[in-house]
A and B are shown apart, each in its own frame.
Chain A
Amino acid sequence: MKPLRIPVEHTTLANGLRVVASPDRSAPVVTVGVYYQIGFRLEPRGRSGFAHLFEHMMFQGSANAGKMEHIRLINSSGGLLNGTTNYDITNYFESVPSNALERVLWLEADRMRALKVDDENLRNQRDVVKEEVRVNVMNQPYGGFPWLDLPPVAFRNWPNAHNFYGDFVDLDAATLADVQHFFRTYYAPNNAVLLMLGDLDPAEAFTFAKRYFEDIPIQPPPPRADVTEPVQTEERRGTVPEKFGPLPALAIGCTAPPRTSDDWYAATILERVLHGGRSGRVYRELVLEKQIALETDGSYDALDTNGPTQMVTRIFHRPEYTSDATIAAFDSVIKDVQEKGISAEELDAVKVKFRADYYSMLEGGMGSYMPRFGLMHYLACFTLFDGDPKRINTVLDGFLAVTPAQAQAVAKKYFVPHNRAIVVRSPLKEGSEKSNGGAR
C-alpha cells in the first residue's frame, strides 16, 4: 500500500481567517474555496431555506463586482464556479487556470468584505430558488427523497428537523434586512476558511491571501444554535405521498455517533459494509438474492457534518411486497451482522474500497469538472470542525484500524429501532404490478 501524503500548509490571518494551501503542480489549474461555518441547520427559525437563498445572494454583487460580474469574471478567466449549502457549512468555489489565482482571491475577498445587493436581486433569486425547488423536488419522481423527508420525522430540535430547502412562505418573507444581518453575523473572516489548491506556491498564495483578506474586519463570534437532540426512546415513522413515481420506496435512517468518537470510525466502516456498492450487504440480500428490492443505496455524510447525522438506507422495492415485509428483510440483514459479526476478510475488503473511495473523492468529487473538489471540501471540514487540516493525511488510519468486534458493537448499538426513523414514499398512482396488499 502506497501511503498518500498530501502537502498541507496553513496559517491564520490577524482577522481570524484560516488559510490552507496544498500545492500540486501536475496540471496548470487551481481550485479555490471559501467555506463559512453556517449551514441550513443553523439558519434562523421561521426562515427555513434562508441559508440557501442567501448563498444565491452571494453571486448577486459585492462592493466592487456588481451583479453578473462574479460569474463573468470567473468564466472569462477560463474557470468554473459554484456554491453549495450544507448542514453546517456553506461553500463558494472556483476552478481556474492558475494564472487567475489572484483574481479569484480578489473576488472572494470583495464579497467577504461587503455584499452589495438590492431588492430586485432578492426578488430575482427568490424566483430562481423556487424554480430550483420545483425542478429538484416538486416536479421530479422521488424528489427530495429522503434528504428532505427524513429530518422532520427523525428529529425533534428545529435546526435538525425543518425543511432545509425552505417553505415558499418563508422564502417570500425574507427581506433585504435579513440578508444583510445574516451576512454580518455569519460571513465574517473569523467564521471562515480559505483554501487554495493546485498549481501554486504556498508562500506566494499566503501573500495574496494577506493582501486581499487580512483587513476585512473581524466580527463578534456568531451565535451557535443548540443542535442537540432529546434522547430518542422509540422508532419514528412517517409517510410521504409520491406524486409521480410508480414504485414504492422507503428510507431508514439511524442516527450516527458523534463526529470523531471511536464509534464514529466504526460506524463509518460498518455503513460501508451495509451499503458499499453491489457487494454491500443490503444490496446483495435485497436486490441480488431475495429480489425484494429493485434498487437500494446508502448514504452517510460522516466527514462533512458536525451535528446529528443519519446513516440512511434507501430501498425501492417491488410493489408486491409491503413496506413491512421490506423492512423485515432489511432487519434480517442487520440482525445477521449483530449476531454473527463480520469476518476479518470482509472487513479488510471494505477497507480497501474505503481507501480507494477516499482517494477518488480527494481527486475529483464533483465529477471531472472541478478538480480536487473533495480535497478542498475535507480540508475545510477538518479545519472548521476539528481545527486541523492535516487530518487529511491521518484520518484514514482511524478508519482502517476498525476491528470486526468494533463494527459488530456499533451495529448492536446504533442499528436499533429506538435509534431510527423510517419514511415511506407511497405512490399515488397504482403500482406497476397489481398490489394485493399482502406480503409474499
Chain B
Amino acid sequence: MTPATSSTTPAVMAHSTAAPALGPERPVAWPKRKSVTLANGLEVVLAESHAFPKITAQLFIRSGNAATVHIAPGLPDLTARVIRTGTATRSSREIEENLRRMGADAGSSAGADTSTISISGLAEFSGGLFELLADLARNASFSEDQFERERRQKIEGLRVERTTPGFLANERMRRVLFGDHRYAVIAPTEEQVAAYRRDELQHFYQHHYTPSNALLLVVGDFANEQMLAQIEKAFGTWKGSRPEMLISAAPPEALGRQVHLVQLPGAVQTQVLVGNLAITRRDPDWFRTVLANSIYGGAFHSRLVMNIREQKGYTYSPRSGITALHQHGFFTVHAAVRNEVTAATLTEMFYEMDRMRALPVTPEELESAQSYLTGVFSLGVATQDGVLVQLSTVYLDRLPEDYLETYREKILALTADDILLAARRHFDSANAQIVLVGDRDQIFDQATLFGPVTEYTADGHKP
C-alpha cells in the first residue's frame, strides 16, 4: 500500500508543524441574573441573554415520578402531559394555536425528582407566554377525552420503548441499583397506566403543583426587573402549600459483580451498561469525581473512548457519566457493541476503571481534562438553553449561589491524588452491576464470564 504521506508538499514545510499555543483567556461574563422568592413561596430566577429576541422559561415542580412510585408509577409524567391539553378557559386546540401565534414551543413531562412545564418563544410575547404557562400550572382541566388519548399514547410509547436497547438497559440498571428505593422505577407497565384514574392525576396536580413547591427559571432577551413584574402578574395569586417530604428506603448494598441479561431476540448488538451507586452534587467528592469521569470515559478523548473506539473499533459512541438525582447519584458506563465483542468490551471497561483506581493520571491528562471541563462550561453560557441548564443545576439542587462563578477554579485546583481518591471511592469495579441487553443466544456464554447471570424479558419478567 502507498504510504499516505506521499502528498507532502513544500507548503507543509513552510508551515509551523506544531499547534499554536493558546492565547490569553477572555473572562466568562455571567449573564445578569436575579433570584427572588415571591410572597406565595414561588422561587424565581431570571437571567438576561440578549443575542436573539427569544425567551426560554421552565417551571419546575419539585415532585416527580418518585412521589407516586409505590402507588401509581409514572402517574406524574402522564399528569404533566395531560396538563398541556386543556385548562378552564382554553381547549387543547386553543393552547396550541396560542403557542404558535407567539412563536412558541412548549413541553411538559416528569422525571424522578421533578415535573416540568417549559415554554420558549419570541421575547415580544413574554406577557402572553407567562399567562399561558401560569394557566397550565394552575387551571388544567383534565378532560376525560384528552386524558384517555394521552393515556393511549403513553401506553403505545411504552411498547416502543421496551423494544429500545438503551431504554431497556437503563430501566434494568435502575432496578438493580435502587431495589426498594423510589428511584428504582423509570417507567410504569402498560397495566399500571391502564389503571390510572383521572381523579388521581387531578389529586397529584392539586397537591404538588403549588408555588412553594415550584421553581421558575427564565432566560432571555429582556430586562430582569420588567420581566419580574410580568411574572408577579401571572403567578402572584397562585396559592397552595408544600407537599409532604418523601420517605424512601435505602438502596441495597451491592456485593460483588452480577450480570443482568435482558433478552432482545434478534438484536445485532449488545447494549452494555455497567454501573454503581455514587454521589450527588452536594457531596464533597463531586468535582473530583466529575474530573475523574472525564478522563475515564466522559469525553471524546477519554481513555475508554480511545481504547474501545479508536483503537479497537468495538463501538461508535461509548461514554461514562455520573447521574446526580436529588437523593442519590450513580456512575454508569455504556456502549453498544457487536455481539462477538461483548466480553472484550467489558474487559476493557473494567481494565480502564481499575487503572484509574490503581495509578495516578499523568500531569498532561490532568491538565487536558481540566481545560476540557472549564472550556465546555464556558460554552454553556453562549445559548439560552445552556444558561437554563446551568441555572437548573444550581437552583434545583440548592447548591451555593456562587456555584457557577466558582466552578472553574474548583476544577483547576484538583490534583492527580484527587482523581485517584475519587476513582477508588466511586468507580466501584469490584461491585459494579452489569446490564446486557441483547440476543441471549449470542451473548450468554460471554456474560457468564463476569458473574452470576440473571435473565429478564423485555417486560421485566424472569423467563
Contact = CB atoms under 8 A, between A and B. Distances in A.
A91 to B, nearest CB: 17
A123 B29 contact: no
Contact of A294 (B9, B19, B156, B315): B156
B321 to A, nearest CB: 14
A180 B7 contact: yes
Candidate in B12, B101, B163 with the most chain A CB atoms within 10 angstroms: B163
A203 interface: no
Interface string B13-32: 01111111111111111000
B97 A349 contact: yes
B74 interface: no
B86 to A, nearest CB: 11
Contacts of A29: 378-379, 382
A367 B7 CA distance: 38
Nearest to A359: B52
Interface in A354-391: 355-357, 359-360, 362-364, 367-372
A413 interface: no
B27 A141 contact: no
Given A78-B371, A141-B163, A295-B153, A355 B383 contact: no
Interface in A119-168: 119, 123-132, 134-136, 138-142
Contacts of A184: 7
A231 interface: no
A124 B310 contact: yes
B12 A63 contact: yes
Contact of A28 (B124, B164, B367, B378): B378
Contacts of B382: 26-27, 29, 95, 198, 371-372
B306 interface: yes
A6 B117 CA distance: 31
A280 to B, nearest CB: 9
A75 B300 contact: yes
A277 interface: yes
Contact of B103 (A132, A356, A369): A356
A284 B93 contact: yes
A99 B24 contact: yes
A350 B97 CA distance: 10
Nearest to B384: A363
Interface stretch (A100-108, A221-229, A299-307): A100-108
Nearest to B102: A352
B416 interface: no
Contacts of B311: 124
Contacts of B52: 4, 359-360, 362-363
Given A1-B124, A63-B5, A135 B378 contact: no
Nearest to A141: B163
Candidate in B53, B104, B157 with the most chain A CB atoms within 10 angstroms: B53
A57 to B, nearest CB: 10
Interface string A256-296: 00000000000000000000111100001000100100110
Contacts of A128: 309, 313, 315-316
Given A26-B50, A217-B9, A356-B54, A103 B316 contact: no
Contacts of B53: 2, 4, 359
Interface string B118-135: 001111100000000000
Interface stretch (B195-203, B266-274, B418-426): B266-274
Contacts of B163: 141, 244-246
B174 to A, nearest CB: 21
Contacts of A114: 5, 7-9, 12
Given A26-B51, A134-B269, A77 B371 contact: yes
B221 to A, nearest CB: 9
B338 interface: yes
B235 to A, nearest CB: 23
A6 to B, nearest CB: 10
Interface stretch (A65-73, A322-330, A332-340): A65-73
A98 interface: yes
A26 to B, nearest CB: 5
Interface size class of A (residues with CB under 8 A): 35 or more
A357 B102 CA distance: 11
Interface string B266-294: 11110000000000000000000000000
A344 interface: no
Interface in B294-323: 299-301, 306, 309-317
B145 to A, nearest CB: 9
Contacts of A9: none
Given A128-B313, A364-B383, A176 B374 contact: no
A368 B386 contact: yes
A250 to B, nearest CB: 15
Contacts of B25: 28, 97, 99
A139 to B, nearest CB: 4
B18 to A, nearest CB: 7
B446 to A, nearest CB: 17
Contacts of B159: 246-247, 432
Contact of A27 (B17, B301, B336, B381): B381
Candidate in B7, B19, B312 with the most chain A CB atoms within 10 angstroms: B19
B348 interface: no
B375 A78 contact: yes
Interface string B33-68: 000000000000000011111100000000000000
A242 to B, nearest CB: 9
Contacts of B105: 277
A117 interface: yes
A177 to B, nearest CB: 7
Contact of A141 (B97, B102, B160, B300): B160
A45 interface: no
B1 interface: yes
B389 interface: yes
B4 interface: yes
B83 interface: no
Interface in B104-162: 104-105, 120-124, 149, 152-153, 155-157, 159-160
A114 B313 CA distance: 24
Contacts of A180: 2, 4, 7
Contacts of A360: 52, 54, 120
Contacts of A41: none
A215 B11 contact: yes
B12 A113 contact: yes
B22 A77 contact: yes
Contacts of B300: 71, 75, 80-81
Contacts of A142: 160
Nearest to B221: A2
A96 to B, nearest CB: 7
Contacts of A119: 1
B28 A75 contact: no
A65 B104 CA distance: 45
B153 A294 contact: yes
15 contacts: A2-B123, A26-B29, A72-B368, A75-B301, A78-B371, A124-B312, A128-B309, A131-B338, A135-B336, A184-B7, A217-B9, A244-B163, A278-B96, A318-B156, A372-B382
Task: Identify the 10 closest CB pairs spanning chains A and B, nearest first.
Answer: A78-B375, A356-B103, A127-B313, A76-B368, A371-B382, A28-B26, A368-B386, A368-B385, A27-B382, A279-B96
Given A68-B301, A75-B372, A106-B20, 13 more contacts: A2-B123, A63-B5, A78-B371, A78-B374, A97-B375, A114-B9, A127-B314, A131-B316, A141-B164, A180-B2, A364-B385, A364-B386, A369-B379
Interface of A: 1-2, 4, 24, 26-29, 63-65, 67-68, 71-73, 75-81, 95-103, 106-107, 113-119, 123-132, 134-136, 138-142, 176-177, 179-180, 184, 198-199, 212, 215-217, 243-247, 276-279, 284, 288, 291, 294-295, 316, 318, 349-350, 352-353, 355-357, 359-360, 362-364, 367-372, 432
